[in-house]
Amino acid sequence: MAGQRDHFFIFLSLQSFSTPQISTPRAIIVLGSGVENGQPSAILAERLNSAAYYAQHHPQALIILSGGLDAREQKTEAEVMGQYLQRKYPMLKNPVALENRSTSTELNLKNSQSILEQQHISLQDPIVLTTSDFHILRSKAIAHKQGYQQPIMLSAPTPLLSRYNTWLREYFAFISGWILREY
């Protein structure tokens, strides 16, 4: 088991170093990852920073901020993400849409589809999925299962303090998803 786990972590590390394909994206979806005291968690802030940097080079792409209400919070993840981008990246010219009902990766991607449809963006179009390095593999598998044809995976670095726990949790989440045929 330990050897398989090590191979998984090596594979996951290599996935996070891949550069997004050179395509003109129609949308950039930022997957939520928790809010703490009305602010993005450190992991979520890294996702937002990565998405903002990428969006500056693709100002026509719609940004979808996807995340619902956490148990102890007053605002949805999507609202908090929107405020963070406005405060930290006021120069962004991209249109922004909030998807504020999701509580999982599967729902992030599913619920974002109605926003894509409203904006006449097809699942066959290049769509950037912004998530953490540890989460790339599972997110891409779920996206493919839901019909995203050209997901461009944008990897955000995981803060050092949470790296071990998140990568270990993702290992078991990936195995569980595979066993339950979620992808």
Q: What is the CATH number of the domain that holds 114?
A: 3.40.50.620
Report the b/e string of 1-34 with b at 16+ CB within 10 A: eeeeeeebeeebeebbeeebeeeebbbbbbbbbe
The amino acid that residue 101 corresponds to is R
Q: Which structural domain, as residue segments, surrounds residue 92?
A: 2-179
68 neighbors 35 (Cβ within 8 angstroms): no
pLDDT digits 0-9 by tens, 12-38: 454 544 455 557 999 999 999 999 999
pLDDT digits 0-9 by tens, 36-83: 999 999 999 999 999 999 999 999 999 999 999 988 889 999 999 999
Looking at the structure of the chain, the number of domains it has is: 1
Give dist(CA 69, CA 126) in Å, integer.
28
